[in-house]
Amino acid sequence: MAVRVGSKVRARVTIVEQGRARKRLDHLTTEEPLEIRLQAGGQTKTVAVTMRTPGADFELAAGFLYGEGILSERGGIHHISYCVDPAVDPEQRYNIVNVGLHLPDLPELTTLERHFYTTSACGICGKASLEAIEIRGCPRLSPGPEVSPALLLGLPEKLRQEQRLFDATGGIHAAGLFNAEGDLLCLREDVGRHNAVDKVVGWALLNHTLPLSHCLLLVSGRTSYEILQKTTVAGIPIVCAISAPSHLAVDVAQKFGATLVGFLRGERFIIYAGEERVQFD
């Protein structure tokens, strides 16, 4: 039986080595639903439910709403809180986040209908399109920084050194935001890659640092359409990944002028778009 302790769960496991079995306590990554609710004008509406790792929930909600165009600035938020409704099971109150808006009524939410339930794995990747970003009116990304191959090659180790939950569980994704000098500004971990990105963007929104036009983002897994959608809206010009991009991720990068790097490991990487930001000798 697993016992939850915040972002980790203790579980008794059996380890088999060289034909011998031994029991011990291990840690697993916590995965629980987060319901995101909007509040305005005395109304409350659920706009998304996503499976996530508890932690930085307010940043996750803010980053998600920013990526979907519901929020455009920190000032649009009246409050963010966990649910305190006495009718809700106390054990579930920390799985519900209320985001109050400085609006007389709830905004138009038809663009969020596809998100009513998303998974921690890939969200809406299969249903998305380039037109969804164009309708948002997102401009092409600014020129942003130019970086050396050596700077890019040093990012994975910097990310790995700060992955505390990965050290404990071995089963969680990370997104790290770096400045043009390669300094780590913010790292968030989550069972979902896109959730980790939302947490980083939410951190930037709540700290009044958007757009992130002079930053780089590194994700620990692959890059999907949805991750490029979120980074494009946040203004991040360089997106790197330890693994491969999807074809839609490459399409978004080319359409909006992002630099997209994949298979960033060891002494090599592949540039799929925007190589003009990588300075070669």
Angle between helices 193-206 and 225-233 (to 10 degrees): 10
Q: What CA–CA distance (Å, rounded) separates 96 from 120?
A: 16
Q: What CA–CA distance (Å, rounded) separates 272 from 281?
A: 19
169: its two tokens: 């569980």
- DSSP structural state of residue 108: P
Q: What CA–CA distance (Å, rounded) separates 41 from 273?
A: 44
Among the options 122, 125, 138, 215, which is catalytic?
122
- DSSP structural state of residue 278: B
End-to-end CA separation in angstroms for the chain: 56
Identity of the residue numbered 17: E
**What are the Cα distances from residue 48, in Å, to 29, 175, 201, 281?**
22, 21, 17, 47
Outline where 189-245 has alpha helix (H). Answer: 193-206, 225-233
**What are the Cα distances from residue 195, in Å, to 41, 198, 224?**
28, 5, 12
Q: What CA–CA distance (Å, rounded) separates 54 from 208?
A: 23
Whether 186 sits among the annotated catalytic residues: the reply is: no
Could you give phi then psi for residue 69, rounded to 5 degrees? 85, 5
Pairing of strands 20-29, 215-219: unpaired
Task: Show which residues are catalytic.
Answer: 122
